[in-house]
Amino acid sequence: RKEVEQDPGPFNVPEGATVAFNCTYSNSASQSFFWYRQDCRKEPKLLMSVYSSGNEDGRFTAQLNRASQYISLLIRDSKLSDSATYLCVVNIGGYNKLIFGAGTRLAVHP
Amino acid sequence: EADIYQTPRYLVIGTGKKITLECSQTMGHDKMYWYQQDPGMELHLIHYSYGVNSTEKGDLSSESTVSRIRTEHFPLTLESARPSHTSQYLCASQGTGIANYGYTFGSGTRLTVV
């Protein structure tokens, strides 16, 4: 079983739609959680950290469920520019090395 | 804006050549990482370092080697390039403190071995 699992998609949604991505992780000792965004042929960039209480940044909302070892990302009012791959990222071990999920592809169409 | 730099951005080289991919960061981060990523595929960790003179192999076996003689510099070397080494190589660094655990990535080196 992979340490971080994501639905690979692709999710094809129209502009203005709300879309949610899910991610599960296997290490119950993980403490830090992130969502990264990667555009085609570019480097991953930090989208947002995920906090225990859940957090929101504009149209993006991240949730963490430690009991189920589950992280989610909700995107409201999707824009064409949101088209990218979204990577779920979890820390592991004492040195806080990060484990990247394989990513979920989102395609927003007009 | 980026504080982590990779050179070259693109490299086309013949089989059997020795190459070094450069990665430098100006943030004073102790932890640095090298990932390999093929188009449309997931990231694979190939090397990492937790400080000067510390290097470890990652999850994906790689014929490359790394060195960490200075905090800011983490070069990756292929002694004899092969077509199977064609890929994108991404370098990342990581800060300390819970607010800084996220990785910052360089722009990558896209390597083609012909």
- Residue B40: its pLDDT value, please? 87
Q: Mutate which of B101, B107, B109, B112 to test chain A, going by most A C-beta atoms within 10 A?
A: B101
Identity of the residue numbered B51: G
B66: confidence class by pLDDT, cuts 50, 70, 90: very high
Q: Tell me which of B11 and A2 has the higher pLDDT.
A: B11
| DSSP code per residue over A84-108 | EEEEEEEEETTTTEEEE---EEEEE
pLDDT in tens, A32-89: 899 999 999 999 999 999 988 889 999 999 999 999 999 999 999 999 999 999 999 9
Environment class of residue B48 by beta-carbon count within 10 Å: exposed (0-12), middle (13-18) or buried (19+)?
A: buried
Q: Which pLDDT band, with edges at 50, 70 and 90, does B1 fall under?
A: low
Put simply, the answer to whether A34 touches B102 (Cβ < 8 Å) is yes
The answer to whether residue A2 scores a pLDDT higher than 90 is no
From the list A32, A43, A87, the residue facing B101 with the nearest CB is A32
pLDDT digits (tens, 9 = 90+) for A11-36: 999 999 999 999 999 988 888 899 99
Cis peptide before A10 (omega within 30 of 0): yes
CA separation for the pair A29, B58 (Å, rounded): 21
Contact A98 B43 (CB under 8 A): no
Cα torsion for A29, A38, B76, B6, to the nearest 10°?
-130
For residue B96, which of B30, B17, B38 has the smallest C-alpha distance? B30
Query: How does residue A95 score in pLDDT terms, banded at 50, 70 and 90?
Result: low
